[in-house]
Amino acid sequence: MTGAGISTESGIPDYRSPNGAYSTGFKPITHQEFVRSIRARRRYWARSYAGWRRFTAAQPGPGHISLAALEKVGRINFMITQNVDRLHHRAGSNPLELHGTVYSVICLDCGSSLCRNEFQDQVKALNPKWATAIENLNIGSPTPGSDKSIGMKQRPDGDVEIDEKFWEEDFHIPPCRKCNGVLKPDVVFFGDNVPKDRADEAMEAAKGCDAFLILGSSLMTMSAFRLVR
């Protein structure tokens, strides 16, 4: 099972290391905040849209590549990741994504889903001037924990810091095109629960293994800790 620490060499910061997001006072959005507050959703999606191009430019690191090689020769028969960045997939693995992925967007009302790139296009269509300003920024080369080339600090799940004056009133979120409902990244935010079928699959694999290798995780989330407890 892997956590955020395995992706730091790819330029994606973690939460709990000495230089992680929590060290600067960062607080990730909770499920309850996202559901209850249009302002919280606007902040989340504006920051996530702005960071998306740089987030998807990250490449698998040595850890991702090494684990894929171990899978290929049969030394690993099941992989779980807490990460939402899909870097394991790009390295050739096919892990169970315990906390989901930002590469998919779901509707909280009707349950339909769409790919993230399609959602990005919808955001761009609703916010053409705002999107153009973001796209004209130079993303530069990924460096862990920062995005100095565009003057915005990157966060662990792909979003970046943007002053609220840039999104509070002028940023518009696309609704679900099937039911006009609220769209959310297909991730398990803090305060939410891992879907039961996914949690059960992870637990079954954990109980049946001969050894459990943990990489890049402090096991501070109960969904991960319970698998090795």
Query: Which residues carry a binding-site annotation?
Result: 107, 110, 176, 179
- Beta carbons of 159 and 47 less than 8 angstroms apart: yes
Label residue 165 exposed, middle or buried (CB < 10 Å: 0-12, 13-18, 19+): exposed
**Of the residues 88, 89, 99, 172, which is catalytic?**
99
Establish whether 99 is a catalytic residue. Answer: yes
Q: Which residues participate in the annotated binding site for Zn(2+)?
A: 107, 110, 176, 179
Q: Which residues are catalytic?
A: 99
